[in-house]
Amino acid sequence: MGRLCFMQEVLGDQWQQLPESLKAHHQIQDNRDVGRLSVDYPYFMKPILYLLGLVGILVARRCELIPTTVKKRIRGRNQIWIRLVYLSVSQPVRFRSVWVQGGEGKLIEYVTPFFGLCIAVHVKDGMLFYQGMYYVLNLGFARLPIPEWFILGHTTIVERAIDEDHFNMDFRLTHPLFGQVFRYTGIFRTESG
């Protein structure tokens, strides 16, 4: 049996339930997703998102249907995601993350070498669901869990096939006191390279 892609290892037998556009999105080869992204959040979040944007986490600007490219590179057992949001043609907003295995049905997405999110992943009705479990502070010798509510709130992501070539991605952060504090959503197609 050949090498499995990152998401295939995380999902195990559930991988077979994914439609072709989502399998292409998570394929073993380096690839990129090309599409348009919309970002929304309440105004009170702007200062927090601005600070997070300075260190390459999230997009600190509301926008509708902005051209976006997500490059994915396989490095050993990890996957590197580089998101380029073209708010201006000459200077896209760039944020990078590294996905590492987190155990069966789980992954950890590090948005900095020291800070990440442990996420449970499963397939239901052909859609790929991500549920944030807790944030992770990586101290090298230890991974300290931090409750989601303590930072930005609960993370949910849903990836849903639209047809054989396109999929919709919907990312939300919901805080127990403040409600939905951030959302980005878009429609993408996966290309090789």
| Residues 141-193 pLDDT 10s | 888 999 998 888 999 999 999 999 999 999 999 999 999 999 999 999 999 86
pLDDT band at 130 (very low <50, low <70, confident <90, very high): very high
Structural domains of the chain, ranges and CATH numbers in brackets: 6-192 (2.40.128.20)
3 vs 161: which has the higher pLDDT: 161
Q: Whole-angstrom Cα distance, residue 76 to residue 92? A: 28
Please state, rounded to an integer, the average pLDDT across all residues of the chain.
91
**In this structure, how many other beta carbons lie within 10 angstroms of the beta carbon of residue 153?**
20
Phi, psi angle pair for 52, to nearest 5°: -65, -35
Q: Whole-angstrom Cα distance, residue 192 to residue 138? A: 32
Number of residues in the chain: 193
Phi, psi angle pair for 44, to nearest 5°: -65, -15
pLDDT band at 1 (very low <50, low <70, confident <90, very high): very low
5 vs 120: which has the higher pLDDT: 120
Count of alpha carbons within 13 angstroms of residue 11, beta-carbon side: 24
What is the model's pLDDT at position 2? 53
90 vs 190: which has the higher pLDDT: 190
Per residue, what are the HEC states of the chain? CCCCCHHHHHHHHHHHHCCHHHHHHCCCCCEEEEEEEEEECCHHHHHHHHHHHHCCCCCCCCEEEEEEEEEEEEECCEEEEEEEECCCCCCCEEEEEEEEECCCCEEEEECCCCEEEEEEEEEECCEEEEEEEEEEEECCCCEEEECHHHCCCEEEEEEEECCCCEEEEEEEEEECCCEEEEEEEEEEEEEEC
37 vs 28: which has the higher pLDDT: 37
Q: Whole-angstrom Cα distance, residue 185 to residue 188? A: 10
pTM of the model: 0.91
| Residues 31-73 pLDDT 10s | 999 999 999 999 999 999 888 887 778 888 899 999 999 999 9
